[in-house]
A and B are shown apart, each in its own frame.
Chain A
C-alpha cells in the first residue's frame, strides 16, 4: 500500500507541475508586415485602320459607303491633317481607402502595336472628378505593317509624390490623333493595338 500512496503523491505532484506556458512575445505582432502585389489589366483597344477611315468619313460628313480613295482629294487636306478620337472611363479603385492607405508603389505598362500605315499620337490622361489632369503621358506611334509591326512599349513607375497624385484619379482618358489619314486611301490594312496593365505594390502593417 505504501508504494501506491507514494505513486499517488508523485502523480499529484506531476499534475501540479505540468501546465506551463513558456514565455511568448506578443509584441512581435507589431512588426507584422505583408507586401502583396497585384497585376491587373487596365485599358485596351483594337482600332482597325478601316474603322479609322469610316470615322474620318463621319468627320467630313461623307456617307459611310464612300470609297476611301475620295480622301485623296485635296479639298479635304486641311480637315484631315489631324483627326482626334477620345474615350474616357471612370475608374473607382484609386480612391478606395485600401489604395490610399496601403499603396506604396505602382508600375503602369503601356504596349502599342501598329500594323497600319498610319502615324498616331496617343496621350493617356489620369483625371480627377473635376477633370484636373493629375498625370499624363504621350506616345508617338509610327507606321508599321502587318509583316513588321511598329511597337512602342513604355513603363512608368510611381512612387512618393507621383503616387499621391494618381490616388486622386477617378477617370482615365485616352486621346488618339491620326496624323496622316490621307494615306488610308491607298492602304487600309492593319490595326492599332493598345494594351496596358498595372502592378500595384501594397504594404499592410500592424500600425
Chain B
C-alpha cells in the first residue's frame, strides 16, 4: 500500500523546498551576514556579534513545474486528474531543491591598523541542502507502466538526487587593497552528518516488439546510489538495533562527522565613486564521506525475451526442473554491486556577481551629522547567481534597488527571474537601533497571498550586535 503520509510529505517538501539564491542579502553591506555571500563585502561596521542561533536563519524553497496548490486546492477537480496532469506536465528539467542555513555563531571585527585595514569574521553555521531532479521517465513507468510506450525507452538518467546535513566552521578575512579594491577569502571546514548522492546515472529501459518472442525487454544501466551517516542496512535488520539520530547530529556538529574542506573567494571593485563591481565563488570544496558509507550500483546490459523452453530429453519428464527463473535472477543480481568504501562529494559551487550604481546625496536641512559624506541614498544594480547542480547549473538574474529611508533603516527591493518564476519580487529591511541590528528579507512577495501556490519562496531574518 502506498504510504499516504509519505506521499503528502513528498509534495509538501517540494512546495516548501529551497534553492540557494540569496539575492536580497547579497552585497547588502548593512547586514554582516552578507559576508557569507561575498567575503569581500565592505561591511558598514567595525565589530559585529551575531545573536547566537538568531543571527542568520535562512530558508529558501523552490519547485518548478507544479505547486502544492495545483494538487491540493479544494476545487472539486478529481484528485487523480490533477495528479495525472502534474505527472505529464513536469519534465525531466524540473527540479525540487531546498536550502536551510542557520548561523550558530557569527562574529566579525576590524583590525586597528588604519594603514592596513583587514576585517576578520568567523563562525559556525548549520546547513541542510537538498536537490532532486524530477525523475520523469521512472515516474511515468511507475504511474502508467510500459504498455503505452512500446518501442520507446525510459531514460534512467532522470534520477538525480543529492542531500547533505552539515555543520560548517568558517574563518574569513577581507582586506582593503586600495581605495578601489577589496578582496576576501573564507576557509571552511565541513562536518557532514548525512549525505545522499545519486547524481551520475545513465541508462535506459526499453520494451520493444521482439524477434523470438512478443516483446524484448532491455535494460542498459549505469546507476549508483551512495549514502553516508545513515545506519547500515544490515545493522537495521539486527534485532538489537539502536540508533539515535540526535546524538549522531550532535557529534557531527563538533567535527565528528564526515570532514571536508572548502574555500570562498570574493572581490569588490569600485570602477568609480558611484559604480561598483562585485563577485564571489562559494563552497569550492569537498567532503570525504567515510562514516558508514554505503554504495549500491546497478550496472550492465541485459536483454530478456521471456523464458525459452528447450524441452530437455523426454526420458527425464517429471524429474527435471529447468530453473530459467533462477537464471534470470542471477543475471540481474550480477549487475548489482554493493560496497562500503569511502567516497568524495563536491559541494555545490555557487557563483555571485553584481554591478551597482549609487546615486543621490542625502538632502539635509540643518546639518549632515546623521550621514557620512560618502553615503548615497540610493543604489540600483543587477546580480547574477549560479549554483552547480548535478544535471545542469541553475541560474537567477536579479535587478535591485536599495534605498536608505532613515539613518536607522535601509530597504532593498528586488526582482528576480529564474527557473521557478518570472514574477519574483523581493523586499528586505535592515533596522539599526542603538547597537542592535535586525533584518528581515523575503522574496516572492506576490506569492505570499497564497504560499502554497508559489514555485519558490525564501525568507531570512537575523539579529546582530554591531558597533559602527
Contacts and interface: CB of A to CB of B under 8 A. Distances in A.
A100 interface: no
B74 A23 contact: yes
Contact of B308 (A36, A45, A205): A45
A58 B315 contact: yes
Contact of A44 (B69, B79, B309): B309
Interface string B293-305: 0000000000011
B79 A29 contact: yes
Contact of A85 (B68, B143, B314, B448): B314
Interface stretch (B35-43, B170-178, B213-221, B415-423): B213-221
Judged by DSSP, the binding face of B is mixed
B366 interface: no
Given A29-B4, A55-B314, A206-B4, A199 B213 contact: no
Contacts of A195: 210, 212-214, 306
Interface residues of A, number: 64
Interface residues of B, number: 66
Interface string B391-418: 0000000000000011001010000000
Given A18-B449, A36-B143, A44 B308 contact: yes
B144 A55 contact: no
Interface in B299-355: 304-315, 317-318, 320-326, 329
A44 B322 contact: no
- Which of B307, B317, B320, B450 is most buried by chain A, counting CB atoms within 10 A of its CB? B307
Interface string A33-63: 1111111111111110000000100110000
Interface string A132-170: 000000000000000000000000000000000000000
A68 to B, nearest CB: 17
B213 A197 contact: yes
Contacts of A45: 308-311
B323 A31 contact: no
A20 B212 contact: no
A205 B310 contact: no
B247 interface: no
A32 to B, nearest CB: 6
Contacts of A111: 214
Interface in A1-30: 4, 7-8, 11, 15, 18-26, 28-30
B72 A20 contact: no
A176 B311 contact: yes
A18 B80 CA distance: 31
Contacts of B215: 39-41, 197
Nearest to A101: B1
Nearest to A131: B318
A36 B145 CA distance: 4
A204 interface: yes
Given A28-B79, A89-B322, A205-B2, A38 B315 contact: no
B445 interface: yes
Contacts of A38: 145-147
B214 A41 contact: yes
B207 interface: yes
A127 to B, nearest CB: 10
A179 to B, nearest CB: 15
B214 A109 contact: yes
Interface of A: 4, 7-8, 11, 15, 18-26, 28-47, 55, 58-59, 83-92, 101, 109, 111, 171-172, 174, 176, 194-197, 199, 202, 204-207
Give 3 nearest A-B pairs by CB, closest first. A41-B306, A36-B145, A18-B448
29 contacts: A20-B449, A20-B450, A21-B452, A24-B72, A25-B72, A25-B73, A26-B72, A29-B7, A31-B80, A32-B4, A35-B144, A36-B142, A38-B146, A39-B150, A42-B306, A42-B307, A44-B212, A44-B213, A58-B314, A83-B314, A88-B321, A90-B325, A109-B214, A195-B213, A195-B306, A196-B213, A199-B147, A205-B2, A206-B1
